[in-house]
Amino acid sequence: MTSHSKDLPVPLAAPRRQSALLNPAWRRRGKGLALPALIVVLLEIIVRIGWLPSYQMPAPSEIALTLSDLAEGALWKHISASLLRVLLGFAIGASLALVFAAWVGLSREAEAYLEPTFAGLRSIPSLAWVPLLLLWLGIDETSKIVLIAIGAFFPVYLNGVAAIRDIDRKLVEVGQMYGFSRARLVRRILLPAALPGLFTGLRSGMSLAWMFLVAAELIAATKGLGYLLSDGRETSRPDIVLAAIIVLAVLGKLSDGILAVLERRWLTWRDAFTGQGAQD
């Protein structure tokens, strides 16, 4: 038996690394980068051959140089200011939304009192809130955080109410048959069943938080990515404007990716269709 084990081939590390790079997750990430890379290459060519004037649309290589220059200067100050505002506003808005969503979702009487008012408030455009918040709260951080919280509130609230109302009634009846208390029913049945919809709302709320951030910083800010956008416009620097947009897109994607990772980790029990097809 010992002689046979000596003749067994030793697995090589290179094939393992190659198979890791070829696994579905890495292939999917590569496909996600294909379209942005194609857009960058096409824009570089179009601007360089003169089909687009560089004063309107700088070449991607020029935008990369601008980002490099900004990174050596005040870019991190703008990123940290915007990130802090978004995180605080999102935390406040999403927390309040989850409380009201649970209340309205579990009580038809609460819905009768609150839903008409919320329906009217969520139809107000983001920019319409800005002058009112500036009059009430001034130009300090409070008005910006409140505006972001308003933006994050409604998608989390709507999806939360829908998630609770879409819970299968049979699941609740089973819990009642087993004598679950109200708290245990919420913890063991209602919350797990509503989690997919809640995460959808949280991810939508995070996206709107970034949008409302720009609305706040474009009007009343001395630092932040919205201020950087405004500064690039006023100084006729489209490279700065596009650099700020790229940073906003990257930060938005990262924050959504964090929520997506949490969603996958907390919903590992779910046996849902993934869209991969029968060949997988």
Q: Is residue 34 part of a domain?
A: no
Q: Phi/psi of residue 34, each to 5°? A: -65, -45
Number of domains composing the chain: 1
Domain with 187, as residue range(s), is 83-222
Whether the per-residue pLDDT at 192 is higher than 60: the answer is yes
Percentage of residues in the chain having pLDDT higher than 90: 34
Task: Enter the pTM of the model.
Answer: 0.82
Please compute the mean of the pLDDT values over residues 171-188 and round it to a whole number. 79
Please compute the mean of the pLDDT values over residues 232-253 and round it to a whole number. 91
Whether the per-residue pLDDT at 267 is higher than 70: the answer is yes
Query: What's the mean per-residue pLDDT of the chain?
Result: 83
Q: Phi/psi of residue 214, each to 5°? A: -65, -40
pLDDT tens-digit readout, 127-144: 788 888 888 888 888 889
Q: Is residue 77 part of a domain?
A: no
CATH of the domain at 140: 1.10.3720.10
Whether the per-residue pLDDT at 30 is higher than 90: the answer is no
Give the torsion sign (CA, 43, 45, 51, 52): positive
Which residue in the block uniquely carries the two structure tokens 């009634």? 169
Q: Is residue 67 part of a domain?
A: no
Q: Is residue 127 part of a domain?
A: yes
Q: Is residue 131 part of a domain?
A: yes
Q: Is residue 132 part of a domain?
A: yes
Residue 264 has a pLDDT of 87
Q: Is residue 36 part of a domain?
A: no
